[in-house]
Amino acid sequence: MELATLSDVKNGIMEEPQVKVTTSDVGTQTKIAFTRLPATEPVEIRFQDLQYRANLGFRKGSKEILHNVHGRFLPSQLIAIMGPSGAGKSTLLDVLSGYRITGVRGMVTVNGRERDLDEFRRVSCYITQDDRLQPLLTVKENMKIAADLKLTARYTVYEKYAIIDEILKMLGLYETRSTRASQLSGGQRKRLSIALELVNNPLVMFLDEPTTGLDSASCLLCIQLMKDLVMQGRTVVCTIHQPSATLFQNFDHVYVLAEGECLYQGSSENLVSYLEGMNMPCPMYHNPADYIIELACGEYGRDKIATLVQGTQNGRAIKWFKDADILPPTTHVEVSHKSPRLPGRIRCHTSLQDTSQLNQLAVIIKRGFIKVKRDSTLTYMRFVANIITGIMLGTLYYNTGVDGSTVLDNYNLLFSIIIHHAMSTMMLTILTFPMEMSILIKEHFNRWYSLKSYYIMVNIVDIPVAAICCILFTIIIYVMSGQPWDTWDRFWVFLIVSLLVVFIAQAIGYMVGAVFNNLVNGTFAGPILIVPMMMFSGFGVNFRDIPGYLKWGTHVSYLRYSLEGYVGAIYGMNRTTLPCNKQLYCHYRYPDKFLYDIAMRDDVYVSCIITLIVMLALAKFAAYLLLRWKIRSLR
């Protein structure tokens, strides 16, 4: 492969080869040659005295996972980080990719210069162990979204589709391009995860346990695919637990960890020689990968681990590399204190994303509406649930709003409506957001879009469904329960308050979903947050009976302003005396009497709406801050 140099850079943007698809018959199969090769020199990664301490939680201290390990990953190689469970494989991969930055000490260099994390993220990608795909989108739709987000505006639609088709053919996904991601097999999902990141030609690819959950044939296919990517000039680093002998032979470089220390670093073919040199020969007909893992687990004694760590000098030794005699020594790396850019990569902007915020927003909004259209839970079941609940409540409280003898029943109905809006919306968001959160973390780290673009999108996309569901429910319940129609203002205030409750509850759901990734914790925390809001809403205990030292609670409860808004719309606005159709005496036939007993006024609905709008803005802003904090804390 002929590498591009700085002389190939024009106007600050690297020109890449023209897209074309070539095929060559190999036996009975057709192999696709990927023509979009990396346009810059391959990347060599070195790390020295790398240490990582994980925070165990509040007042639990920390635990050191990586113990001053060293290593050198050569360019254009398929590299396997191996070790038993808990050895620190995924942690090392996270640190090298830049996914984890808190608690890390030591030095990581790229092509001999200190790594600038932003620049490194522009030429690398991270593929998680679990395939975080959009299940409702087809393979081609997923790829088109990735292309629109990761390729600059200078690419035409035709060029994007040519790139997509080429990648899909190379990865054997072309025949499944119209299949939804949720219907793909495990191996196909893994290949699609790789395909999505290949769109913008990364120089370095990090994969966490790419063979987990795959059968032997799919594992071999996945490793051979990564081998093809390496042959194109990429550096591919992956973690793998215990490969078979066939898989093990495909790796160019192996890095073995045990208890956060390096047991071996070198080529896969030199592992047997290394073990013989350490007086731990691999038994005949034994898979060397299995044997080194057994040693790392301490099955042959804990002293063997210390001996191997000493033999490789915790990753410093390079004598077991392939062609080690042509490599310069790694005892010391001259590092510039500046923040150099990778050779051949000149950027004219400082944003991590390759496209503008406006383009990001347009693309992910389009994706969001496709998902809404196809989502049976968030869309269609939501419509059905609101309609059925509205009819049930309307039947139970039929015409309670028009009779003076059923004022208290109608008051109970108003509170039930608020609880329905608050609980159903909040819990639905809490239950569905963790899945979106996992996809967001992957796509945001791989520079698909900014967090601001994503947050604006989720708020815009859910407005139509939430609003239509709320409007349908409000119309059904308002008509069936016999609420007053003497002026349209009553209905509009009622509807506006309902919409505000829905959107505030949704924002609270985002807050809970962002803080608690665990679904069980989120479903437990959500209702708990509603309880104090109910206590200070004025329902059951009116404002006059609340102790003075708890009065502050009424000013922060959005349910209080929602209930006051409802009561003001139904029994305020100078409503006349109510008829008594079932009794001779109706205690609350005069609305003023009822308003006095519940300690509410009839003219505060406007201020309630204003307060709810302010609360909505604060809740949305707080949800964004918590989401940003959560993403940063994960790193």
User: Counting every residue, how long is the chain?
Assistant: 635
Above 50 in pLDDT, residue 9?
no
pLDDT at 321 over 60: yes
Widest Cα–Cα separation across the chain: 106
CA–CA distance, 71 with 46 (Å, rounded to integer): 6
| Strand duo 235-240 + 13-14: pairing | unpaired
d(CA 201, CA 490): 59
pLDDT (mean) for 515-534: 80
CA distance 168 to 196: 10
Long-range contacts of 1-6 (CB under 8 A, 24+ apart): 1/37, 1/232, 1/233, 3/40, 3/41, 3/42, 3/233, 3/344, 4/39, 4/40, 4/41, 4/344, 5/343, 5/344, 6/343, 6/344, 6/346
Task: Give the pLDDT confidence score for residue 584 in this predicted structure.
Answer: 65
pLDDT digits (tens, 9 = 90+) for 27-80: 334 455 566 666 567 788 899 998 888 877 666 777 888 888 899 988 888 898
Residue 17: pLDDT band (50, 70, 90) is: very low
pLDDT at res. 33: 55
pLDDT per residue as tens digits for the range 116-172: 888 888 888 888 887 788 888 999 999 999 999 888 888 888 888 888 888 888 888
Q: How confident is the model at residue 344 (pLDDT cuts 50, 70, 90)?
A: very low
Q: Please give the average per-residue pLDDT across 394-420, as a whole number.
A: 88
The CA distances from residue 177 to 30, 143, 163, 167, 319, in Å, are 18, 9, 14, 11, 46
Query: What residues does each domain of the chain span?
Result: 44-123+203-340, 132-202, 358-634
Of the pLDDT bands very low, low, confident and very high (cuts 50, 70, 90), residue 615 is: very high
The one-letter amino acid code at 156 reads T
CATH superfamily of 44-123+203-340: P-loop containing nucleotide triphosphate hydrolases (3.40.50.300)
Q: 106: closest CA among 147, 154, 65, 48?
A: 48
The pLDDT score that the predictor gives to residue 283 is 85
Give the 3-state secondary structure of residue 73: strand
pLDDT at 38: 60
- For 508-537, give the secondary structure using H, E and C: HHHHHHHHCCCHHHHHHHHHHHHHHHHHCC
CB count, 10 Å around CB of 30? 10
Q: Are 77 and 42 in contact (CB under 8 A)?
A: no
